[in-house]
Amino acid sequence: MKGTCLCGKVNYVTRGDFLGINYCHCKQCRKANGTAFATSAAVREEDFEVVQGHEHLAAYESTPGKKRYFCGRCGSPIYSKREGGSTIYIRLGTLDDDPIVRPEVHIHVASKASWYEIKDNLPQLDAEEGLWF
């Protein structure tokens, strides 16, 4: 699958299957994305590659050991990764292709935006405990 930022300077590809897709309602994801939640797909690090625009990628360490990568030109959030981890969390809104699979769970609902109401029947986790990917 292919993905790009808003301005098209950062291009990436994923190979292999997604490990899972979640809606994250934590305060950091809300702030980083400017929305009620972030929709992220987990993929193995070896199945993810930035193929163009490395020089436009910027990173912010939002919590110790976790970096959020975004396009330094247009600001699009692209992915996040924990130090020492083997999983990349791609912001699904940057995909240019249909991922075929759909979100499976809401996480960090204990800190969700007060003005947003979850109206689907997906599992809701207060944090990440019990997350299977």
pLDDT digits (tens, 9 = 90+) for 4-51: 999 999 999 999 899 999 999 999 999 999 999 999 999 999 999 999
In the chain, how many domains are there? 1
Residue 106 located in a structural domain: yes
Residue 117 located in a structural domain: no
Answer yes or no: are the C-beta atoms of 120 and 105 closer than 8 Å.
no
Residue 53 located in a structural domain: yes
Residue 22 burial by CB count (10 A; 0-12/13-18/19+): exposed, middle or buried?
buried
Instruction: Give the Cβ contact number of residue 88 at 10 Å.
Output: 24
Find the angle CA(132)-CA(95)-CA(49) to the nearest 5 degrees. 75
CATH number at 15 reads 2.170.150.70
Query: 132: pLDDT confidence band, cut at 50, 70 and 90?
Result: low
Residue 41 located in a structural domain: yes
Residue 130 located in a structural domain: no
Answer yes or no: are the C-beta atoms of 106 and 37 closer than 8 Å.
yes
Measure the CA–CA gap between 80 and 67, rounded to whole angstroms. 6
Measure the CA–CA gap between 22 and 37, rounded to whole angstroms. 10
Q: Give residue 34's domain range.
A: 2-111
The mean pLDDT of 96-121, rounded to a whole number, is: 95
Measure the CA–CA gap between 97 and 94, rounded to whole angstroms. 9
Residue 29 located in a structural domain: yes
Report CA-CA distances (Å) from 91 to 65, 69, 96, 108, 115: 19, 10, 11, 16, 22
Residue 128 located in a structural domain: no
Q: Where are the beta strands (DSSP E) in 8-118?
A: 11-14, 20-24, 38-44, 48-52, 57-63, 66-71, 77-82, 87-91, 105-107
pTM for the full model?
0.91
